[in-house]
Amino acid sequence: MSGLSFRRLAFMLLFAFLVWSSSTGTCHARRGKHWRHSRAASASLSKKKAKSHGSGSHHHGGSKSKSKAPSPPKQVTPPPPEKKGSENFNVLDFGAKGDGDTDDTKAFQAAWASACKVEASTIVVPSEYVFLVGPISFSGPYCEANIVFQLDGTIIAPTNAKAWGSGLLWWIEFTKLRGITIRGNGVIDGKGSVWWQDSPFDDPVDDEAKLIIPLNRTAEQNSPIPINSKLGSKMPSTKPTALRFYGSFNVTVTGITIQNSPQCHLKFDNCMGVSVYEISVSSPGDSLNTDGIHLQNSKDVLIHSTNLACGDDCVSIQTGCSNVYIHNVNCGPGHGISIGGLGRDSTKACVSNITVRDIIMHNTMNGVRIKTWQVSLLLLLKKLDRVLAEF
């Protein structure tokens, strides 16, 4: 029994060993088969990628061999740059005579028409010539910017009443421009004596004239005899300003002399960015309403290093002006430097940020002043009625 039991036990152990060996081999076989499949798949995938890459390279290589090399772009010669600031337009080249008798108005107009088309161009009014020019407007707004009016000669106004028609507010006008400069050593002469002597007969006398005390303490007994024009007729009652700028930006006036204007010598209306320096204004102290520089509805104005002698305000500042700086100005004769008159006919008037300093006044009626118009009693009563009605 014991031998049988030992034999049975050995058989069972042998059987168990065989079963264990068989399961272990199968596991290793499966694992190995799985590994071999993975390696084969990886190798196959690598081969496919290599083949695909190789075929792609071959395809690109083939396309390169078939396509032609691109031709270089054609060289396009750019147009020559437009000349800026290098063109001068001399009024003599446009037919001006400069003899003081021939009317050169059309020549000035033609020179302006050409200069207007070129940015930073220069109109030349040469020295040693006297140009008779009638009422003229150098106007934009389609002109190029930064035009220079080089004034070295003399421009005189006509004293023929016919040249002025029924009357104009300006003689020489620059309007709606961007960057306009008037410079040089020349003269603008308004020939104003023809107009001033007619004033006592045409226009009411400025009330301020009553404040003038004659040097010899005696009043003038006889009214002045009018100086008539060349045709023997009186000049129009509307008197022109000699040089006017309207609706322009970045305006510069320097070096020139403006003299004997029928009314204001230099006026800026609706302008922005104004610079006036080293100019001279000259007219007699008894020439009526001949303001030196007149500002209206203008902003950012600088006036300095200037001599102003006239028969009214050296500088007059009207409604709508702001950021005005005036310094180092010689004023006299004249009525001083004035703000106003403001509020005429009970209108609203606004002026702001005005600076006046380092001014020399000599033989002037006033220093610096603010002039306002008196509000009518009727208007005050109307305002009072509105205030009372609100309560």
> Which residues are catalytically annotated?
312, 335
**Do the Cβ atoms of 192 and 290 come closer than 8 Å?**
yes
**Do the Cβ atoms of 351 and 326 come closer than 8 Å?**
no
In angstroms, rounded to a whole number, what is the distance separating the alpha carbons of residues 7 and 127? 147
Compute CA distances 313 → 62, 166, 183, 301, whole Å: 92, 26, 23, 17
In angstroms, rounded to a whole number, what is the distance separating the alpha carbons of residues 167 and 69? 78
CA atoms within 13 A on the CB side of 109: 10
Give the amino acid at 128.
E
Instruction: Tokens for 334, please give them.
Output: 């004249």
Residue 184 zone, left/alpha/beta (φ > 0; ψ -120 to 50; rest): left
In angstroms, rounded to a whole number, what is the distance separating the alpha carbons of residues 272 and 301? 7
